[in-house]
């Protein structure tokens, strides 16, 4: 499935955190194909033959950054501004959590999960807002949330709590930073990626079982998430701010 193009992003500057693989790579590639200049970041540079997202002979720019560190989050935005002269769209995609029951998980694990999934996006958003407020066109910030933040999240309690906080954070920042900056969140359900197949579903059979529980009969893809981001960052969503766009194929069928 090819991403749907809803706007011309020619010349626009886009940052995608965690944009080297999976959902983040799909988002970066979609903005590239729409004409944007894209900067992605990660804690480690892709290796072992992995390639950065590319489209139409152009490749994303990579910078190493741990967005849990406020100074590195600030440097990320500064690098995009130096390279591109502007920052139009920031997609906070970096996140995740290992599976661990709440009773057994260490305090350090809980703190690190919340730091990555909630505090880091706030660091990035603060730095981006400082730039966007000074631009005539303002900007758009998109948080990649999760349905784990809208329902119980057994096995990933801290992650679900952090994502619930992220959805709320987007609504608050949308009020504080209007009218120059729009802030929204995308709330995906299960997404079919290679990492998810191995880490969460136990292979193709598990993914097929998960897809069967979705009313639309399939898992979301990185392209689906990318399309939602393209819409929210576009003029078609000019009056959309503080919204949480559910991307879960209708939810889950009652068992």
Say if CB 135 and CB 129 are below 8 A apart.
Answer: no
DSSP state of 239: T
Q: Give the Cβ contact number of residue 81 at 10 Å.
A: 17
Beta-sheet pairing, 54-55 with 58-59: antiparallel
What's the gap between Cα 94 and its chain centre? 6
Measured in residues, the chain has a length of 255
Q: Is 159 noted as a catalytic residue in this protein?
A: yes
CA distance linking residue 31 with residue 203, whole number of Å: 29
Give the residue from 186, 171, 65 showing the smallest Cα distance to 123. Answer: 65
Question: Helices 70-84 and 120-132 meet at what angle, rounded to 10?
Answer: 40
Catalytic residue among 159, 177, 201, 231: 159
Say if CB 33 and CB 108 are below 8 A apart.
Answer: no
CA distance linking residue 173 with residue 153, whole number of Å: 25
How buried is residue 205: exposed, middle or buried, by Cβ count under 10 Å (0-12/13-18/19+)? exposed
Residues annotated as part of the active site: 159
């Amino acid at each position: 499935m090819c991403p749907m193009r809803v706007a011309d992003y020619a010349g626009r500057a886009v940052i995608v955190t965690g944009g080297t693989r999976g959902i983040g790579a799909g988002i970066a590639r979609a903005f590239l194909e729409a004409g944007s200049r894209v900067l992605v970041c990660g804690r480690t540079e892709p290796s072992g033959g992995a390639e950065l997202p590319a489209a139409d002979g152009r490749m994303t720019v990579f910078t190493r950054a741990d967005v849990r560190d406020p100074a590195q989050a600030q440097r990320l935005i500064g690098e995009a501004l130096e390279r591109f002269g502007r920052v139009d769209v920031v997609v906070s995609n970096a996140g995740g959590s290992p599976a661990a029951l709440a009773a057994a998980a260490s305090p350090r694990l809980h703190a690190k999960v919340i730091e990555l999934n909630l505090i880091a996006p706030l660091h990035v958003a603060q730095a981006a807002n400082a730039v966007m407020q000074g631009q005539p066109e303002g900007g758009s910030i998109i948080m990649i949330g999760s349905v784990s933040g809208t329902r119980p999240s057994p096995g990933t309690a801290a992650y679900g709590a952090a994502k619930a906080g992220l959805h709320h954070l987007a609504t608050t920042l949308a009020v504080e930073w209007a009218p120059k900056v729009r802030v929204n969140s995308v709330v995906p359900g299960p997404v079919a990626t290679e990492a998810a197949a191995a880490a969460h579903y136990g292979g193709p059979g598990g993914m097929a079982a998960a897809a069967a529980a979705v009313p639309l009969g399939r898992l979301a893809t990185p392209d689906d998430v990318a399309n939602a981001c393209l819409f929210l960052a576009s003029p078609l969503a000019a009056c959309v701010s503080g919204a949480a766009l559910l991307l879960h194929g209708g939810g889950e069928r009652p068992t």
